[in-house]
Structure 1
Amino acid sequence: MIKTLIVFGTRPEAIKMAPLIKELQSDSHFEVRICVTAQHRQMLDQVLDIFKINPDYDLNIMKQNQSLYSLTADVIIKFEEVLKKEKPDIVLVHGDTTTTFASALSSFYFKTKVGHVEAGLRTYNKFSPFPEEMNRKLTAVLCDIHFAPTRRAKLNLLNEGVEEKDIFVTGNTVIDTLKYTVKQNYKFREPILNEIDYTKRIITLTAHRRENFGKPLENIFEAVLCLADSFDDILFVYPVHLNPNVKDVAERVLKGHPRIILTGPIDVDDMHNLMARSYLVLTDSGGLQEEAPSLGKPVVVLRDTTERPEAVLANTVKVAGTDKERIIEIVEKLLTDKEEYSKMAHAVNPYGDGFASRRIKDALLYYFGYKKETPEEFKGSDMYVQKLYRRVLKAD
């Protein structure tokens, strides 16, 4: 059996690793162990409960007002004890969090193979997003096997010197998650979401990125306020992050408006079903840029850069940044121009087809010699791939 230790620490990581955990646990070739760092505590626990995931190890490292310094050190030191006890054949990490980088580094020190799920995403600006961009780049050089969600992500890794034999294009596991969560007759856990008039055009908003703290976040909220004042048939729903840098500003600027609903953080299945009932999505999150297009919802990205350029090329996403007037301009266009909205809503999602976890499992079986044939790559839509490579070749 392939002794596989899966480690993650945040809510988004848990959402994206859950279907992979289920896939590996269902295959007798794998002995699966799960370690959570609890870099986020409450929001992580929500996902574990929904997917009935019972960690074998809980490092419980979250502290109030934790710093990146203490967080990194705690993961490296505490994860060492897990490695000593389990002696895994491979450690699987996900994405771009501090847990990702620190556990990969700890595994490297232990001379254990590391597999990186959602590998190869890049903005090439080390401070945007911060610290995620450097977390994933540093993780890449520590890893032995890379599960790239798209061909563009694979190309990024090849350009950085990763050998092609160690890269597998799988699609993104978050698309797999939607199969578990979105239901037609869903009843929300958050009571206020059951009371919403869904005949209105719902706009789901998320904003919590560290690089947006301060003036950028204020700009976003002022744009939302202006849009809510301008259109009486829309309703913003904003699950507010618990970080005081977000919560305090949101309540000061947005609270009390009749067309803006503020809730606390919501469960993953609440979020997915809210998006499924929304008209469009405004976000500075990474995962929602991948999830919403699968539900036919245009996405406006509230960041100056995105490590997911495939969505921009496929026209499922528009990057607005944090400029108030630019956000208003893009959203107004989507609210008033039916043709423009339709183009985005019906574009093909380049991120996956719901079988990424199976492809990762097959790649691991191939890597460890249990399968002879090279796993088939996720290719996305042919039209999208051709468009992408024409753009890449022109840039080169």
Structure 2
Amino acid sequence: MSLPEVHLAGGTCAEALRLAPVALAMREQGLVAPVLLAGGPEPTNVARTYISCGLAADITLPATADLTASIRRYDRLWAERTPAAVVVRGDNLGAALAAHWRRIPIMHMDAGRRSGSLVADDADANRRLLAQVATVHLAAAPLAAMNLLDERVIAGDVLLTGGTSVEAAQLLAGHTRQPKRPRANRVVVTGVSAGFEEAVREAMLVITANQPDLDVFGGLPMPYPERSRLVAAADVVLTDDVDLAEEALAAGRAVLVPGDGGALTEAIHAGGARLVDAEAGEIVAAMVELLGSRVRRDSMGTAGTPYGDGHAAARIAQATAALLGKGQFPDPMPARPQAGVHH
């Protein structure tokens, strides 16, 4: 008898990177048949992300520029090839709504993450709406699980699994060649909100003027695995982009977060990330302090990541199989992962 088919819907490169370990865990457990989807505005890049992890997209959807088109693409696919369940990550609302309307169970990875900002945030709004249609909410950290409970999500539908950034880092490291040449200090600057760009640009000009051996990389996003190589080579990552910060923490890199850091509260409390005022002088001072002290950088790096312990993919795969009547749901991730879990 064939295994129930589970579709993993990757709408961005960051989503694809985190879905890849789940597909591998599903294959290893042998209880469901994972099908990797490459969709979103740039499905070719999503497919390339799977390839960088040693996998291939099973289905590549036509590019979609808006939510309505995204829903239509997924709906057409699932009208002909209806899966037993769909796995989405983050704010992939198009796939979630299409699955909901076809009564397909939805496993929502990285559920419950909220920015904490009072300013309207499209991604936050999508995540809140997605929480209304998800079948099982897979939270990456305890605070995310608490957010869902505060929003009256049924406690039995919430599972603390952790996120898969640690496993994704391992996958990329195993399939990409790391540079062996000596390097200068490197700072990755990317994913900064529009309101912070000018302050960051001014700060980087000051820092590079005084440290000519410093390499500063900005202007991300860039494709994997190049992005992951830059993060692995960095001494400090300056970003308020949650995905990039999560990847840096998984790689054991010190993270500076401009602004209020609402979406990275757990990492700030754990010590792997540090808040800095989004003002050029404050950014310069914090950056110079970290670049000048290997001990301070290492102490932040060894704090590890609160967003996964290296076993999240296995938990998510097991939970998906359990939802379909194959086995038991996994135990939740320990509330505080061991420090120093990174690769």
- Is the TM value for this pair above 0.5? yes
Deviation per CA, 1:125-177, whole angstroms, max 9, x where unpaired?
A: 3646x321111111111101011111111111111111121111111111111
Q: Deviations over 1:225-267 (max 9, x none)?
A: 11111223422133544xxxxxxxxxxxxxxxxxxxxxxx242
CA distance in 2, matches of 1:179, 1:187: 12
Amino acid at match of 1:164: A
Residue correspondence of structure 1 range 359-378 to structure 2 within 5 A: 359-372=315-328, 374-378=329-333
Separation in structure 1 between the aligned mates of residue 51 and residue 261 of structure 2, nearest angstrom: 33
1:335 aligns with 2:330: no
Matches within 5 A, 1:310-329: 310-320=266-276, 322-329=278-285
Deviation at 1:323, TM superposition (A): 2.5
Q: Does 1:136 align with 2:127?
A: yes
* Separation (CA, whole Å) in 1 of partners of 2:86 and 2:338: 35
Pair 1:227–1:272, CA change in 2 (3 A): same
SS at match of 2:231: helix
| Structure 1 pair 183–88 and aligned structure 2 pair: CA distance change class (3 A) | closer
- 8 Å CA contact 2:277–2:283 kept in 1: the answer is yes
- Which 5+ residue runs of structure 1 have no aligned equivalent? 189-193, 242-264, 385-396
1:18-47 CA distance string (max 9 Å, x none): 111122133332122332223224532431
After the TM superposition, which residues 1-396 of structure 1 pair with which residues of structure 2 at under 5 Å, given as runs? Answer: 1-62=3-64, 66=65, 71-96=66-91, 100-125=92-117, 127=119, 130-182=121-173, 186-187=177-178, 197-198=182-183, 200-207=184-191, 212-213=193-194, 216-238=196-218, 240-241=220-221, 265-268=222-225, 270-320=226-276, 322-337=278-293, 339-372=295-328, 374-381=329-336
Deviation >4 Å, runs of 4+ = none
Q: Measure the CA separation in 1 of the matches of 2:199 and 2:48.
A: 30
Q: CA 1:221/1:175 → structure 2, altered by over 3 Å: closer, same or farther?
A: same
The answer on whether the counterparts of 2:38 and 2:47 sit within 8 Å (CA) in structure 1 is: no
2:98 aligned counterpart, secondary structure = helix
Deviation at 1:181, TM superposition (A): 1.8
Return closer, same or farther for 1:223/1:166 CA change in 2, 3 Å cut-off: same
Whether the 8 Å CA contact 2:189–2:218 is kept in 1: the answer is: yes
When residues 370 and 298 of structure 1 are mapped into structure 2, their CA distance, relative to the original with a 3 A threshold, is same
Percent identity, aligned pairs only?
A: 22
Query: Which consecutive unaligned segments of at least 5 residues does structure 2 have?
Result: none
Q: Is the 8 A contact 1:107 1:114 kept in 2?
A: yes
Q: Residues 371 and 184 (structure 1 numbering): CA distance in 2 closer, same or farther, change over 3 Å?
A: closer
| Counterpart secondary structure, 2:14 | helix
TM-score (norm. length: structure 1): 0.77
CA distance in 2, matches of 1:184, 1:89: 31
Aligned-partner residue type, residue 210 of structure 2:
S
Q: Which digits, 9 at most, give the CA deviation of each residue in 1:195-225, with x for residues without a partner?
A: x751x22212223x5xx33x53222212111
Root mean square deviation of aligned Cα: 2.5
- Aligned-partner SS, 2:8: strand
TM-score (norm 2): 0.88
* Count of aligned pairs between the two proteins: 337
Query: How far is the alpha carbon of 1:380 from its aligned partner?
Result: 4.8
1:221 match: secondary structure: helix
Give the SS at the match of 1:81: helix
